[in-house]
Structure 1
Amino acid sequence: MVPDANATAARLKRPSWRDPRLLVGVLLVLVSVAGVIYLVGSADRTTEVYAAREGIGVGERLTQENVVRAKVRLGDTEQHYITVESGLPQGVVAMQRIAKDQLVPRASLGEVDELDRKPVALNIEQTLPSQAVAGARVDVWVAQPDAKNGFSEPKLILPGAEIAEVASGSTALGSSKSTVLMVLVDDKQMPALLGAQANEAKISVVWNPGGAK
């Protein structure tokens, strides 16, 4: 059978721009390129957020003085942090310590009335471990005065207390140096600790690497 010359010519004919198959192919290529550009752009997108300049303590308000700006890639987690675009929130304080250079999470902020812990100063004469810094946890032990032996057996009254601040202090007569620990105490634990201080009990702290229980 002799091939039809017209059919052969039709098969060899260069495709036209009006050919639906060519248009679909071009469209698929454009969509693929656009998708790659979008993914690359999303991966490189940075957000300017706030971070703690030197550490923000519990109960401290956020101000322009205690925060710095940082450009980071947050992706889907952006909603959990304070962005420069949204601005510093008003009327809120830190509900937990925000360490130096740590991004400011929204979950760490709240109203003043929501604070369930308050800082109490403890004058400690013992040598503290190097780990006893702001943000660390310590167990507070109290030995009440005892006429027989000087002090009774120590009892744990404040397990896993968070240190808010560490400062230098001195004894009542100023004859020796001591350390002042500001520990965060909730209202239920407050009477026992304040009572111990009022009775001039011996207060000791032990670093608690396990944190709060």
Structure 2
Amino acid sequence: MKRPSWKDPRLLVGVLLVLASVAGVISLVGSADRTTEVYAARDAIAVGEALTQDNVVRAKVRLGDTEQHYFTVEGGLPEGAVAVQRIGKDQLVPRESLGTADALDRKPVAVTVEQVLPNQAVAGTRVDVWVALPDTKNGYNEPKLLLPNAEIAQVTSGSTALGSSRSTVLMVLVSDSQMPALLGAQANQAKIAVVWNPGGAAS
């Protein structure tokens, strides 16, 4: 048997295969480690809130094939964009969550309630809004479900005019078709009750 020389075709083929394998591994690792700089919410961004450099932060993430669904820092934020869906704190800003103000199909309306709400009733969760209209005997009619599964945009504490009792102000998202009924109930001094809906979609 002869000792193989550097001119042996089999040895050259083996060396080429090893080099090709190493190059492939380096390329694969490099592509897997590629990060993209995108935007994330600094704090929770409510529906209708404009997106600016003040309420977002930059985040380097590996998105792979999903990069097209997010706004990259390189591309920048679209001018005049508002949130059409709630974006949670530290959540990446997806393209589907942004739109224009005139494209909003739900608008925040303040609803004041005197009842104590459960701790789970926070922004992004759902509630059922019930109203009882005044009757002709200085009382109220039977409550009716006016806004089923309405999303809470914001929760703040309030007080009565005399400051003797506490109240809660909910900003709930209302569609244009539901708006007249809610505004009419408020104008007619209806009693409004809000019930947390644990089966509602959370965002």
Question: What TM-score results when the alignment is normalised by the length of structure 1?
Answer: 0.88
Tell me the number of residue pairs that the alignment of Structure 1 and Structure 2 aligns. Answer: 201
Q: Does structure 1 residue 124 correspond to structure 2 residue 77?
A: no
**1:137 maps to which residue?**
126
Q: Does structure 1 residue 182 correspond to structure 2 residue 187?
A: no
Q: Does structure 1 residue 12 correspond to structure 2 residue 33?
A: no
Q: Does structure 1 residue 152 correspond to structure 2 residue 141?
A: yes
Alignment partner of 2:150 out of 157, 161, 169: 161
**Cα offset for 1:45?**
2.0
Which amino acid in 2 is paired with 1:37? I
Q: Distance in 2 between matches of 1:14 and 1:165?
A: 78
| Contact 2:6/2:12 (8 A) holds in 1 | no
Alignment partner of 2:51 out of 37, 62, 69: 62
| Contact 2:123/2:152 (8 A) holds in 1 | yes
Q: Distance in 2 between matches of 1:174 and 1:120?
A: 23
Which amino acid in 1 is paired with 2:59? A
Q: 1:43-73: CA deviations, max 9, x gaps?
A: 2222221111111111111111101111222
Structure label with greater radius of gyration? 1
Q: Does structure 1 residue 89 correspond to structure 2 residue 74?
A: no
**2:89 maps to which residue?**
100
SS of equivalent to 2:117: coil
**2:190 maps to which residue?**
201
Q: Distance in 2 between matches of 1:172 and 1:13?
A: 101
Structure 1 unaligned residues grouped into runs of 5+: 1-10
Which amino acid in 1 is paired with 2:4? R
Q: 1:23-47: CA deviations, max 9, x gaps?
A: 3222221111111112222222222
**1:6 maps to which residue?**
none
**Cα offset for 1:147?**
3.2
**Cα offset for 1:169?**
1.5
Which amino acid in 2 is paired with 1:73? R
Structure 2 unaligned residues grouped into runs of 5+: none
Matching of residues 73-88 of structure 1 within 5 Å? 73-88=62-77
Q: Distance in 2 between matches of 1:38 and 1:118?
A: 49
Which amino acid in 2 is paired with 1:66? N
**1:4 maps to which residue?**
none
Question: What TM-score results when the alignment is normalised by the length of structure 2?
Answer: 0.92
| Contact 2:36/2:72 (8 A) holds in 1 | yes
Instruction: Compute the RMSD of aligned alpha carbons.
Output: 1.6
Q: Distance in 2 between matches of 1:85 and 1:157?
A: 45
Which amino acid in 2 is paired with 1:15? S
Alignment partner of 2:10 out of 7, 21, 32: 21
The more displaced of 54-63 and 20-29 is 20-29
Q: Distance in 2 between matches of 1:16 and 1:45?
A: 38
**Cα offset for 1:77?**
1.3
Q: Distance in 2 between matches of 1:44 and 1:125?
A: 53
